[in-house]
Chain A
């Protein structure tokens, strides 16, 4: 199985701050990498697919980049409604696997 790691595991930032999360795959996954946002008690929501493509309807303050094994997810200006856990997920090869998540809250 392809292992996914994320860092940090949690972060606290102020409204308006730039927030960056990194995700690393245990092998080359090209750009078969997605990012999801999950709020407490809710299903995950797709934000970014194929490493850098913004899902329809998702605010442009969310972005993604990277290829191969190293990927980055950025919130350009943190908003109160962005409080959530963020997961990366590879689909280069089944079983599709998720990172352990990064919890983001407001300082």
Chain B
């Protein structure tokens, strides 16, 4: 039974750096891609980006210049950093496991979500 458990700071000021980490319990870390998705309050879902076990990343161009996703395979963990946050970055952030036939865009296991609020 795969479980994803995420944590990180929930309240930031504008221009600060958002930092979240997700630990994967159970299952193989190396066989999947590991993804971050966010959801502003009352709105839809936005894919932020992904990483695999060898550190290969893809990012959403809408955020690419401000985002870094990294992984620590020794701890079965992956992390998200969003730089220079603004109020528009206020959202629930989810980590998720990705699989699929060509691209790994089937998100079959999710973390519990972390509400990150950006406010001065």
Interface residues in chain A, defined as those with a beta carbon under 8 Å from any beta carbon in chain B: 1, 32, 34, 36, 42-46, 49-50, 55, 87, 89-101
Residue of A nearest to B92 (CB): A43
Decide if A98 touches B107 in the complex (CB within 8 Å): no
Q: In the complex where A43-B110, A43-B112, A44-B110 touch, is A94 in contact with B44 (Cβ < 8 A)? A: no
Number of A-B residue pairs with CB-CB distance less than 8 Å in the complex they form: 65
In the assembled complex, the CB of B113 is this many whole angstroms from the nearest CB of chain A, namely: 5
In the bound assembly, the distance between CA atoms of A42 and B44 in angstroms comes to 13
Interface residues in chain B, defined as those with a beta carbon under 8 Å from any beta carbon in chain A: 44-47, 58-62, 94, 96, 100-108, 110-113
Decide if A43 touches B103 in the complex (CB within 8 Å): no
Decide if A93 touches B94 in the complex (CB within 8 Å): no
Q: In the complex where A43-B112, A44-B110 touch, is A96 in contact with B105 (Cβ < 8 A)? A: yes
Q: In the complex where A98-B44, A98-B45, A98-B47 touch, is A89 in contact with B113 (Cβ < 8 A)? A: no
Decide if B44 touches A100 in the complex (CB within 8 Å): yes
Chain A residues near B107: list those with CB within 8 A.
34, 36, 44, 46, 89
Residue of A nearest to B111 (CB): A43
Seed contacts A44-B107, A89-B105; 8 additional CB < 8 Å A-B pairs = A32-B102, A32-B105, A34-B105, A91-B103, A91-B105, A93-B103, A99-B44, A100-B44
